[in-house]
Amino acid sequence: MSPGEVKLPYGTITDRKLVMHFSAFDMDLPIIASGIRERMDVLREIGVAFAGFGTEIPPNMSEQTPARVKAFFEYVGTGGDPVAVLKQAYYLVWSGMIQTFPFLEEWAEAKSNLSNLTIAQAEVIRARRGQ
């Protein structure tokens, strides 16, 4: 941990930036995005800007080591304590994700549909490669 870096359970704050980390096994990008969108008006009010998404692919990706999805935020407000505001933003995003998380039946159906899409994409790739 570098000086000035604050560790959170699923993220870090460095200077005026917050990076939230999610396992691709646990959270899909649409769920993360819906949580951010749900709280975007409050984030703007407290001076926090959403700066985008990224994916970190581990060097030895396998079924046991999934990719990590990252969400980036920056404190753009004036005055106040940027670390305290970014901690508040961290909890706001998590509460937005919980608020917008689909019911179990919808979630299971969406996961099934995604699985079917992934299998179909793999079949197309194999067909193109002539396997």
pLDDT, tens only, 71-108: 999 999 998 899 999 999 999 999 998 888 777 677 77
Q: Answer yes or no: do 115 and 125 share one domain.
A: yes
Secondary structure element (H or E) that encloses residue 116, with its range: helix 104-129
Q: Answer yes or no: do 81 and 127 share one domain.
A: no
Q: What predicted TM-score, i.e. pTM, was given to this entire model? A: 0.75
CATH number at residue 35: 3.30.300
Domain that holds residue 120: 102-131
> Residue 40 and residue 37: Cα distance in Å, rounded?
5
Q: Answer yes or no: do 48 and 88 share one domain.
A: yes
Residue ranges of the chain whose pLDDT lies below 70: 1-3, 61-63, 104, 131
